[in-house]
Amino acid sequence: MKTFKGRTAVITGAASGFGLEASRIAAREGMNVVMADVQQDALAKAADEIAALGAAVLPFRLDVSKAAEVEALGAATAARFGAPHLVFNNAGVGTGGLIWEATVKDWEWVIGVNLMGVAHGVRVFTPMMLAAAQKDPGFEGHIVNTASMAGLLNPPNMGVYNVSKHAVVSLSETLYQDLSLITDQISASVLCPFFVPTGINESHRNRPAELADDAAPTRSQLIQQAMSNKAVGSGKINAAHVAQFVFDAVAAQRFYIHSHPGALASVQTRMEDILQSRNPTDPFVHKPEIGVALRAALRGVT
């Protein structure tokens, strides 16, 4: 994308983390900003901040897992600004624990937000952007979907989250290829951040009541929550850095967006496991003390 000024960005998960930082950059770049989030109070505060930067802002409260609500977001965007030029399908939630301990409600919540939220965004906004491109040879569009390094790896004790993020990577790669068959005016990227302080480790605060679990958390779930809190809280790359990586990638038409390039060595190891038909490599091979501690904790060894 050659320029952002005067164009429109739609950002989900816009009240915090990557979404809020991306909204700030969009405003500084002179874009109209459609800010969508499930948390109404945080959204109102964030929208006021972005409007104070001089941007035309459309705040929209929605649950991205609900198809009708994303469709309503698309209609509101079209009515206010027309077809968007940048769509950042960014809303996401986190959960952990041994994969067989995940409840039906765990699966429905995480897949609903992390995967179906992206799918709904692609389904609603891509046709709008394609129609705009057909009418205007100068139209440029870009869709960015937030996955995770967990979409390129399979860290243990994070099964439901891993599944959702692998699916987002697959969806995004397919979107990129499908768009390339149809148009040169619209492209796509996938964001695969590692541990970054964004508040995703506290995403249970927005878990809908109808998908809340009645049972107490299992040992594995409590352990993963503690590990996530520590890992996310100690991140040296912050959300503002990652949001800038996103805009840089859109400007450069770059598909894969990473926050921690050093983590790609583990992705290479996974690919080599597949190509050589060898069993999955121990994810803690370079930090065995973490693996020892996790195994001991899960097995109840003091």
45: CATH:
3.40.50.720
Residue 94's domain comprises 8-259
Catalytic, 176? Answer no
| Inside any domain, residue 61 | yes
- In three-state form (DSSP H/G/I as H, E/B as E, the rest C), the secondary structure along 107-131 is HHHHHHHHHHHHHHHHHHHHHHHHH
What pLDDT score does 249 carry?
Answer: 98
Q: What are the residue ranges in the chain where pLDDT is below 70?
A: 197-202, 231-235, 302
Helices (H) and strands (E) in the chain, counts: 10, 7
What pLDDT score does 201 carry?
Answer: 58
What pLDDT score does 227 carry?
Answer: 81
Q: What is the pLDDT of residues 258-280, one digit of tens each?
A: 999 989 999 999 999 999 999 99
What pLDDT score does 50 carry?
Answer: 98
| Inside any domain, residue 2 | no
Query: Token digits for 79?
Result: 């009515």
How many domains does one find in the chain?
1
What pLDDT score does 231 carry?
Answer: 67
What pLDDT score does 233 carry?
Answer: 65
What are the CA-CA distances from residue 65 to residues 91, 105, 110, 175, 208 (Å)? 10, 13, 9, 19, 11
| Inside any domain, residue 148 | yes
Catalytic residue among 18, 88, 125, 161: 161
| Inside any domain, residue 300 | no
What pLDDT score does 228 carry?
Answer: 77
Query: Token digits for 74?
Result: 């698309």
| Inside any domain, residue 280 | no
Integer-rounded Cα radius of gyration of the chain: 19
| Inside any domain, residue 267 | no
| Inside any domain, residue 230 | yes
What pLDDT score does 198 carry?
Answer: 65
How much helix, strand and coil, in percent to the nearest 5, is found in the chain?
Answer: 55, 15, 30
| Inside any domain, residue 284 | no
What pLDDT score does 105 carry?
Answer: 95
What pLDDT score does 246 carry?
Answer: 98
